[in-house]
Amino acid sequence: MEEFNIGGVIPFGGYNWRILDIKDNAALIITEYIIEQRPYHDAYKDITWADCSLRKYLNGEFYDKFNMAERSRIIPVINKNPDNQWYGTKGGADTRDSIFILSVEEVVCQYFGDSSSKLYNPGKNQRYWFERKDENNSKRYARLETNTEYNWWWIRTPGRVNVKAVYIHGDGNIGIQGNNILKGNLSDGRCTGGVRPALWIKMEYH
């Protein structure tokens, strides 16, 4: 039986997961590492989390990698998808997700320290970034398990426009303007961000 403590790490489904929250015999967990790099969507057009290909992948192909016993412990939840706090870009419909990526509020206000004052009170010169010296940046660092350098990773909140999604920079800063959901400057022209799946899991099972 795993030991469940907020901030602790447990194995599940072949990955190590960090425990972010515990409620009613359930734990919210996120992969300790970036497990892969993918575009947010498979076409360059206005999109929200509800309709993006990354959500479809996580709740389909990725979910299907878990065995029956593991799947029986995953708890589907209704996620709210708020608008972008700086730009008002529409976050889209609520979604029922077995597996998801975190929202800006979850990353900024709840599970990696509380930097909510910077989310809701941007400085007049702030267009792209949170405060570079935010005291919680280091809590948001993430990397591929095989890497020594930190990488950027997606969150599900839309960016300045709906062809962008907000992301966590390698230095832990919040790119609230967002990165392009598909178009990038890689050799194949794609914008592939880090994926750190999150899910709620039953703590007790038989």
User: pLDDT of 50-103, one tens digit each?
Assistant: 999 999 999 999 999 999 999 999 999 999 999 999 899 999 999 999 999 999
Give residue 206's pLDDT: 45
Give residue 147's pLDDT: 87
Query: Which region among 17-31, 130-144, 161-175 has the lowest average model confidence (pLDDT)?
Result: 130-144
Does the residue 116 lie in any domain? Answer: yes
Between 205 and 186, the more confident residue is: 186
Q: What is the pTM of this model?
A: 0.93
Give residue 116's pLDDT: 84
Task: Report the b/e string of 38-71 with b at 16+ CB within 10 A.
Answer: bbbbbeeeebbbbebbbbebbbeebbeebeeeee
Does the residue 25 lie in any domain? Answer: no
Range of the domain at 131: 37-67+78-195
Share of the chain above pLDDT 90, in %: 76
Q: How many domains does the chain have?
A: 1
Does the residue 104 lie in any domain? Answer: yes
Give residue 121's pLDDT: 74
Give residue 186's pLDDT: 65
Does the residue 121 lie in any domain? Answer: yes
Does the residue 10 lie in any domain? Answer: no
